[in-house]
Amino acid sequence: MDADELLKRYAAGDRDFTRADLSGETFVNARLSGANLIRANLHQADFRSANLSGTFLVIANLSETNLSNANLLVANLSGANLTGANLTGAKLVEVNLCGANLTNADLSGADLTGAILSGAILRSAKLNQTNLSGANLYGADLSGADLSGANVRGANVRGADLQGTKMADGTIHA
């Protein structure tokens, strides 16, 4: 399946794209709210400024995907592979990223207010200027992450691995 076919099916009312192989496809400014992309292969896809609010991306492969400025409000990305993904400026309010792999992902300037990141892997992730207020990072691996300038007010970081993390105030956690 390619992007054109998926967009035509979506426009016709289809929402189930489970296990679709859309690797490298372009969805810039696309509207896919509520789509089911569970276990989809979206490796290196381009979703810049796309509306993916309420989508199901459970265990999807989004490695090296461009999601900059995308709207992922209340989306479910639990267990998703977002290794090296570009999420700069993305709207991730109340998103479920439980157990997701965000190693080396760039979330600079993203809004993760109230996001569920428990058990997520955020090794060496860029979280500078990110809004993490009220986020649940319980048991997350933030080793080597950059949280400089991030808003972490009310975030739960109990049990999180903060080894080598650059904190919001600029200090490095030993």
State the 10-residue block means of pLDDT for the chain, 174 residues long. Answer: 96 97 97 96 97 97 98 97 98 98 98 98 97 97 95 93 85 69
Contacts of 29 (CB under 8 A, 6+ apart): 48, 49, 50
Q: What is the pLDDT of residue 171?
A: 73
Q: The whole model's pTM is what?
A: 0.94
**Are 131 and 110 in contact, with CB atoms under 8 Å apart?**
yes
Q: What angle do CA 121, 89, 151 make, to 5 degrees?
A: 65
Domain positions in the chain are 1-174
Q: What is the pLDDT of residue 174?
A: 54
The CATH code of the domain at 1-174 is: 2.160.20.80
Q: What is the pLDDT of residue 170?
A: 73
What's the count of helices (H) and strands (E) in the chain, helices before strands?
A: 1, 0
Give long-range contacts, CB 8 A cutoff, 24+ apart: 146-154: none
